[in-house]
Amino acid sequence: MPGWIKLPRDIVKHSIWQKEEPFCWKAAFIDLMLLANFEAHPYFFNEQEFLVNPGEIITSQEKLALRWKWSRGRVYRFLEKLKDIGEIDYQADMVSTRITLSKWKTYQLGELTDERQVRQVADRRQTAGRQVADTYNNDKNEKNDKKESQVKNLKFVRAKKTYEELTEAERELALECAKFYEQRLKSKIDFNKLCILIYGSEEDKEEHGFGDWQTLRRALGCLSKEELTHKVLHPYYYIWSLSRQKEYVEKIKKSLEG
């Protein structure tokens, strides 16, 4: 049957998906697609830092065994089978397993194998997405339009100072903040977004951000997961909005002095 469908990642939160029973091979294969990253970013796993690319997963066979309620041997056989039929490639060591979905680009953009066609489809969809967003935003007042646009496009902008530009000491602080963020809020975050919280984005005409990693660490410590869960759709966007409030940033800085 030709064609394809969009499958939301939030499907894993559905009660059917969370039933306490082992995955079948079909469910495990779909789960790998849901776990795959859609953009390149630094990522840490088991105290080690990795650069993960689109269509890749950094995990371990033990973690997949727990997730799918399988034995580790069954996970190994499953990955080997997918590798044999050309669906994935993977490399494993004592710390992690890097899985690459071989047909990731095809699954994301339809049944296209020509690189030029893939780029054309991607460009058309990006343009169509902007048009839909513009139509939606025009129905709101100017203030809400501006805020909605900022939040919607936040993941596509770069920080004024990128992770690659950080000193070794700053990278260590960034890693600590990323760990604290993920442990406290139970949500993953990439280093570009963290840098935006500190330095602002390239699109900012004014100075925004917490300014340094210690201030961000204190700000994260002042927020409770319960507060964020009930007040906002996504914790990151709430923290991002606080980073743009100069009075709040100054209050956090003063609390570090005391």
- pLDDT for the residue numbered 111: 47
Task: Pick the more confident residue, 116 or 161.
Answer: 161
- In this model, does residue 234 exceed pLDDT 50? yes
Q: Give the pTM.
A: 0.47
Domain 9-102 classification at class level: mainly alpha
- pLDDT for the residue numbered 140: 46
- What sign does the dihedral 163-195-108-83 (CA atoms) show? positive
Per DSSP, the three-state class of 47 is coil
pLDDT band, very low/low/confident/very high, at 204 (cuts 50, 70, 90): confident
Strand partners, 162: none
Mean pLDDT: which of 75-89, 125-139, 237-251 is highest?
75-89
- pLDDT for the residue numbered 33: 92
pLDDT band, very low/low/confident/very high, at 16 (cuts 50, 70, 90): confident
**Residue of 165, 258, 250 lying closest to 215 (CA atoms):** 250
CB 196 within 8 A of CB 240: yes
Place of tokens 């309620």: 69
Average pLDDT value for the chain: 78
Lowest mean per-residue pLDDT among 14-18, 27-31, 33-37:
14-18
CB 85 within 8 A of CB 92: no
Q: What share of the chain in percent tops pLDDT 90?
A: 25
159 DSSP 8-state letter = B
- In this model, does residue 153 exceed pLDDT 50? no
- In this model, does residue 112 exceed pLDDT 50? no
Q: Which helix (H) or strand (E) holds 65?
A: helix 61-68
Q: What angle do CA 68, 69, 70 make, to 5 degrees?
A: 90
36 vs 52: CA distance, rounded Å: 9
- pLDDT for the residue numbered 19: 84
- pLDDT for the residue numbered 80: 94
CB 190 within 8 A of CB 164: no
Strand partners, 183: none
Task: Pick the more confident residue, 185 or 94.
Answer: 94
